[in-house]
Amino acid sequence: MKSTDDMSTEERVEFWTMALGEFRNSGLSKAEFCRQNGFKTSTLNYWQRRLESRPDETARPPQFIELDTALLRPEDSPDGSTSLPFTALLSVLCGGVSILVGQDTPMDLLAQVIRTVRDAA
């Protein structure tokens, strides 16, 4: 199980907010997601209830972040297709944002995303 014992309350909130977002996007059952990530289902349930009961005014408004689309062109795709298949190999937490990184993710694009998210926080 991932330990959050050494985290501040704010860091725990950020960690579980990201974990719940990953769960929602995973397509897995709660039990399977918890098994794969070493969480107790009861702990995930606790944080889900806790975070969903937070007042709306604590939520940050969505922000638009412009990225250089030239860094991800169809011709960069291994098969030259216009839709890039994506399998996340790594999830990077940065400033309250979960960035899913695939094997073919251009490092220039990842660096730009991380800088932009860090600067927006």
pLDDT of residue 78: 53
Contact predicate 81/74, CB 8 Å: yes
Instruction: Show me where the domains of the chain are located.
Output: 1-59, 61-121
User: Helix 9-26 crosses helix 41-52 at what angle (to 10 degrees)?
Assistant: 110
Radius of gyration of the chain (CA): 17
What pLDDT shows up at residue 29? 92
Mean pLDDT of 93-114: 75
How many degrees, rounded to 5, is the angle at CA 67 between CA 62 and CA 73?
A: 135
Query: What's the distance, CA 73 to chain centroid?
Result: 23
Largest CA distance in the chain: 46
> What's 69's DSSP letter?
G
pLDDT of residue 84: 47
Q: Each residue of 27-86: pLDDT tens digit?
A: 899 999 999 999 999 999 999 999 887 765 445 555 666 655 555 555 555 555 555 455
pLDDT at 13 over 70: yes
Per the rule left: phi > 0, alpha: psi between -120 and 50, beta: everything else, 31 is alpha
User: 17: which 2 tokens?
Assistant: 């907010």
Locate 106 and state its tokens: 């251009």
Predicted model pTM:
0.45
Please give the Cα distance from 98 to 65 (Å, whole number): 14
Which residues make beta-bridge pairs with 92? 99
